Amino acid sequence: MIVFLIKRLANAALVMLAVALMAFLIFRFVGDPVQLMVNEQTTQAEKDALRENLGLNDPVAVQFLRFVGNAVQGDFGVSYRNQQEVMSLIAERFPATIELVLLATIISLVVGVPLGVYTAIHRGSWASEGLQFLSIIGVSLPSFVIGILLILVFSVMLNIAPAFGRGEVVSIGWWTTGLLTPSGRAALILPSVALSLYQITLVMRLVRAEMMEVLRSDFVKFARARGVPRWRIHYVHALRNCLMPVVTMTAMNIGSLIAFALITETVFQWPGMGMLFIQAVTFVDIPVMAAYLCIVSFIFVALNTLVDITYALIDPRLRMARG
């Protein structure tokens, strides 16, 4: 078990190092950092001093090590665009994105699991075939399209939900939340639904596939023979046995949801990390891009590793196979 743990953690560290290398290469070689930081009046001497100050004259390997060292301490330098600390820019936006992603995850579970069970039980019925077809459409609709359509229907035509911004927020320490004010809650509705739609179809398809397998097993037959009520068999006995993969997938997908949130955030003008990143991309604000890449990848890799380790704790067979 300890060997497995070490191997898995080493693997995660290697991936993070590779991501850091990528971020560093972007940072160092796309455009000249000095040129991007100075204005026209800067003299050559000042530029040289700045270059020396930033350590750009050191060997590349040394620069990379310094970059990693700083990144581990959360120091990604200063944004080219507005001269603020990159880390504080991101920290400011972080709660908005996390709130959106977590709410979308909850919605996808609350809606997706019952739908999955329903389509598995009533296989071939009119309603379940319809849902199955809807799920193909759900997978085919890009998330920005869902956002636009939601805005069109609920904001422009019906005028019942705000289409942009985060409403009023309350700050608790460094965390800001929109959940405590009416306007904050209203602003959350459309973006979180838009973000969760794709996730709902995934959860629904997974639960359906798992349920169909479990419903064939002996313990379900036995429960039927004992005369356990139908709903109890389906929603208690069978469902419990298919939740493991659902939990795994949900945990793993939180990372990609954070990445996908950047599209939703752009559509709804949601002041999260993703919008910061897209603005950075348009202005070629390299430090912000590099920092975002590192942070999102870190969350992604950390969740994957955590899920793998949890699995190995539960199922000893995996320790041998995966190690």
Binding site for other proteins (CB under 8 A): 14-15, 18-19, 26, 30-31, 133, 136-137, 139-145, 148-149, 151-152, 156, 163, 255-256, 258-260, 262-263, 266, 277-278, 281-282, 284, 289, 293, 296-297, 300-301, 304
User: How is residue 270 written in tokens?
Assistant: 């949601």
Shortest CB 281 distance to other proteins, Å:
5
Nearer to other proteins, 141 or 243 (CB): 141
Element spanning 170, H or E: strand 170-172
Nearer to other proteins, 18 or 72 (CB): 18
Shortest CB 26 distance to other proteins, Å:
6
Shortest CB 196 distance to other proteins, Å:
17
Nearer to other proteins, 250 or 297 (CB): 297
Shortest CB 255 distance to other proteins, Å:
7
Nearer to other proteins, 239 or 263 (CB): 263
Shortest CB 256 distance to other proteins, Å:
5
Nearer to other proteins, 56 or 299 (CB): 299
User: What letter represents residue 197's amino acid?
Assistant: L
Nearer to other proteins, 157 or 314 (CB): 157
- How many residues appear in the chain? 323
Give the whole-angstrom CA distance, residue 232 versus residue 55: 67
Give the whole-angstrom CA distance, residue 55 versus residue 50: 8
Shortest CB 177 distance to other proteins, Å:
25
State the sign of the Cα–Cα–Cα–Cα dihedral 52, 57, 59, 65.
positive
Rg value, the chain, Cα: 24
Give the whole-angstrom CA distance, residue 189 versus residue 88: 27
Nearer to other proteins, 31 or 69 (CB): 31
Residue-by-residue DSSP string for 250-271: HHHHHHHHHHHHHHHHHHHT--
Nearer to other proteins, 117 or 259 (CB): 259
Contact between 322 and 314 under an 8 Å Cβ cutoff? The reply is no
The torsion defined by the Cα of 292, 298, 304 and 310, in degrees rounded to 10, comes to: -140
Instruction: Please classify residue 252 by burial: count the beta carbons closer than 10 Å to its beta carbon, then call 0-12 exposed, 13-18 middle and 19+ buried.
Output: middle
Distance from first CA to last CA of the chain, Å, rounded?
9
Shortest CB 224 distance to other proteins, Å:
26
Give the whole-angstrom CA distance, residue 131 versus residue 118: 10
Shortest CB 299 distance to other proteins, Å:
10
**Side-chain half-sphere CA neighbours of 213 within 13 A:** 10
Give the whole-angstrom CA distance, residue 251 versus residue 87: 25
